[in-house]
Amino acid sequence: MNRYPVWKYILIAVALLLGALYTAPNYFGESPALQVTTGKTAVKITSDTTARVADALKREGVPANQVSLEGSGNSAAVRARFDSTDAQFKAKLALERQLNRDATDPDYIVTVNLVKNTPAWMQALHALPMNLGLDLRGGVHFLLQVDAKAVLETKIKGTQASVRSILRDKNVRHAGIERSGNTVEVTFRDAETRNAARNVLSSQIQDLQLADAADGSDLKLLVTLKPAALQRTVEEGVNQNITTLSKRINELGVTEPVIQRQGADRIVVQLPGVQDVARAKDIIGRTATLEMRMVDSTVTPGTELSAAIPLNSELFTEGRGAPVVVSKDIILTGDYISSAVATFDQNQQPAVSIDLNGDGGRKIRLVTRENIGKRMAVLLKEKGKYTVPTAPTIQGELGSTFQITGIGSIQDANELALLLRSGALSAPMEFIEERVVGPQLGAENISRGLHSTLWGFVAIAVFMIIYYHMFGVFSAVALAANVLFLLALLSMLQATLTLPGIAAIALALGMAIDANVLINERVREELRAGATPQQAITNGFSHAWDTIFDSNVTTLIVGLALLIFGTGAVRGFAVVHTLGILTSMFSAVFVSRGFVNLWYGRRGKKVAKLSVGTVWTPGLPAEKK
């Protein structure tokens, strides 16, 4: 009766194999590698870069073992692995020479680091090592708070300007526009004009919420942003800052940086291997600036590179819109751009829609009115160097909201929108948390965590085997399987392992043994009550299961509570704790039963005695006397 059908054994075997497979990447050694990223907004890391890196290395006589593209979007990086640190160093110099035309202003940043030697076939199966948290590998952690109030204020100012210009455009006469807090108050002389204004405004800007109010004899229209629009504004501000930060941090040349949004208005930045807080902060705090200027129309298009440059103009050769000769007078700076998003124009062609705030609308109207048919250049200034993402032709008089069309693909539109935004100071940020862990302390933490888990495990295993004999061995094996499953799951989920996470692994093991103790005690009890060995196994396991299930549910509630309300370190603890409960149910009940069945079940009634330690019966010793 204590036999599992073959499929159950197979299931156990497969689970153990998968566990071993997905845990394995954590044990491979590390090999020296190079990482190629970019700190420039205009440069992208793609598969072309991978090919270039491989080519350059071959040309220089230091071929890499493997060159691959990792990550995507802003976190994309090309990695090249080498046999020795010597080759790594040579390759670094070679790549820097080959990839960057200008050494003082490099397009690509080459950094050295170590990567795990996970074989390619394992990587293909997505068997990757766990990430180590900062407390284990050393590095800096920042928590930045985006000033949501400032973001909203800028947006409201922009709204105020838009309302003013729209009313003027449509010839609606008002008696003053004022801003108080997050509300724009427009005063009118009569109800008729107010109605007209409301119609005009609601048709022109979708995000507004309009309400009537009266102040003495004055009629007022209260303009506020819809809650959804408010939320979107803050969200855009945060996302925009994340994009900007990613680029800045790539410039630092950090391996595997983490830049994530936390909650509504916070950004977590983690830079492994970096210890210098001051420099990291300096770079994070900096933003690119954006300028809009008129293209010099005295220079014939196409001859920019050879023509004489007028005194009040400059030649720019970098970027999509280049080469172009541009006036030195600035029409607008990036501060005036409150948003830039990729959309479609009325012909369903990709376009970028731009919103200007404050005085921006008026400024651009004055200039564009007189320059219809001419070109205006958008300049991006990073580290003192200019690039020209675009130089569109002015089709008509522009206001505080306008579109750039004729861009090409929607991807180009997205990219341009991103470039336009990256110049804008979207939202001021404040450092509200800072954590630095030295690499030495990180290494100490790893060994402490490992040692506590290891010795705790050994102590429990030894005790179980002494106390429960063969059943103790099964319990220890089940516990080992539990570690395997837990590590495999964490690796599969690509969880970040922290010191509290390791503590949670240890605690999960300490708690998981409960299930086996319950089972073993039950089996003893059944034997004491006079059950046959096979019956004792069956009843022991089935009675214990109810209790194990109940008690794990309560632990699971704790795990979930910590998962929902915890942040940072507590979250890492909670993830492991919760997973540990799930794996322990599987391994303690299913896997250990599998081994028990394999050992005792197959022999059926021939089993005369179970090796579960002393089964003490109250009556017996007395009878012996």
Partner 1 sequence: MEFFKIKRDIPFMRHALIFNVISALTFVAAVFFLITKQLHFSVEFTGGTVMELRYPHAADQEKIRATLRSIGHEAPEVASFGTAQDIMLRLPPVKTAAGATVSSEAFKAVCASEGGSPKQINVMEKGQQIERTSCANAAGAELVTLQRVDFVGPQVGDELAESGLHALIMVVVGVVIYLAVRFEWKFAVAAILANLHDVVIILGFFAFFQWEFSLTVLAAILAVLGYSVNESVVIFDRIRETFRKQRKMSVTEVIDHAITSTISRTIITHASTQMMVLSMLFFGGPSLHYFAMALTIGICFGIYSSVFVAAALAMWFGVKREDLIKPVKEKDETDGAVV
Residues in 411-450 at the binding interface with partner 1, rule: CB under 8 A: 430-441, 444-445, 448-449
Q: Does 281 bind partner 1 (CB under 8 A)?
A: yes
Q: Whose CA is closest to 256, among 492, 75, 499, 440?
A: 75
- Among 21, 222, 507, 607, the residue binding partner 1 under the rule CB under 8 A is 507
The three-state DSSP-derived secondary structure of 105-149 is: CCCEEEEEEEEECCCHHHHHCCCCCCEECHHHHCEEEEEEEECHH
Q: How many residues bind partner 1 (CB under 8 A)?
A: 99
Q: Does 96 bind partner 1 (CB under 8 A)?
A: no
Question: DSSP letter string over 259-270?
Answer: EEEETTTEEEEE
- CA-to-CA dists, residue 498 to 138, 445, 470, 571, angstroms: 11, 9, 35, 10
Cross-strand pairs, 293: 330, 377
Distance CA 28, CA 563 (A): 30
- CA-to-CA dists, residue 96 to 34, 63, 102, 103, 257, angstroms: 11, 15, 10, 8, 21
Nearer to partner 1, 13 or 620 (CB): 620
Distance CA 56, CA 33 (A): 15
Minimum gap (Å) between residue 520 Cβ and partner 1:
9
Distance CA 190, CA 210 (A): 17
Residue type, 121: W
Distance CA 474, CA 588 (A): 9
Nearer to partner 1, 165 or 453 (CB): 453
Query: Which range binds partner 1 by CB under 8 A, 186-194, 201-209, 272-280, 398-406?
Result: 272-280
Minimum gap (Å) between residue 617 Cβ and partner 1:
10
Q: Does 276 bind partner 1 (CB under 8 A)?
A: yes
- Among 341, 480, 582, 615, the residue binding partner 1 under the rule CB under 8 A is 615
Minimum gap (Å) between residue 553 Cβ and partner 1:
6
- CA-to-CA dists, residue 526 to 473, 533, 544, 551, angstroms: 20, 9, 11, 21
Residue type, 608: A
Please report, as residue ranges, which positions from 447 to 476 form the binding site for partner 1 (by CB under 8 A): 448-449, 451-453, 455-457, 459-460, 463-464, 466-467
CA dihedral 254, 256, 262, 264 (to 10 degrees): 70
Distance CA 150, CA 147 (A): 5
Nearer to partner 1, 1 or 305 (CB): 1
Nearer to partner 1, 74 or 498 (CB): 498
- Among 47, 199, 411, 542, the residue binding partner 1 under the rule CB under 8 A is 542
Angle at which helices 592-599 and 439-492 cross, to 10°: 70
Q: Terminal CA-to-CA distance of the chain, rounded, Å? A: 38
- Among 495, 569, 598, 607, the residue binding partner 1 under the rule CB under 8 A is 569
Distance CA 366, CA 399 (A): 9
Please report, as residue ranges, which positions from 196 to 235 form the binding site for partner 1 (by CB under 8 A): none
Q: Does 531 bind partner 1 (CB under 8 A)?
A: no
Minimum gap (Å) between residue 263 Cβ and partner 1:
9
Please report, as residue ranges, which positions from 241 to 260 form the binding site for partner 1 (by CB under 8 A): 253, 255
Query: Which range binds partner 1 by CB under 8 A, 157-165, 287-295, 328-336, 501-509?
Result: 501-509
Nearer to partner 1, 31 or 333 (CB): 31
Query: Which range binds partner 1 by CB under 8 A, 181-189, 359-367, 400-408, 549-557?
Result: 549-557
Please report, as residue ranges, which positions from 481 to 500 form the binding site for partner 1 (by CB under 8 A): 499-500
Please report, as residue ranges, which positions from 141 to 200 form the binding site for partner 1 (by CB under 8 A): 143, 145
Nearer to partner 1, 411 or 567 (CB): 567
How far, rounded to the nearest angstrom, does the alpha carbon of residue 613 sit from its chain's CA centroid?
A: 52
Question: Using alpha carbons only, how large is the chain's radius of gyration in Å?
Answer: 34
Query: Which range binds partner 1 by CB under 8 A, 289-297, 344-352, 379-387, 515-523?
Result: 515-523
Farthest CA pair distance, the chain: 120
Residue type, 16: L
Minimum gap (Å) between residue 470 Cβ and partner 1:
13
Nearer to partner 1, 368 or 445 (CB): 445
Q: Does 70 bind partner 1 (CB under 8 A)?
A: no
Q: Helix, strand or coil for residue 455?
A: helix
Residue identified by tokens 């402490």 is 448
Nearer to partner 1, 33 or 325 (CB): 33
Minimum gap (Å) between residue 487 Cβ and partner 1:
16
Instruction: Convert residues 19-58 into a mask of x (bound to partner 1 by CB under 8 A) and - (unbound).
Output: -----------xxxx-------------------------
Instruction: Convert residues 114-143 into a mask of x (bound to partner 1 by CB under 8 A) and - (unbound).
Output: x--------------------x--x----x
Instruction: Convert residues 302-331 into a mask of x (bound to partner 1 by CB under 8 A) and - (unbound).
Output: ------------------------------
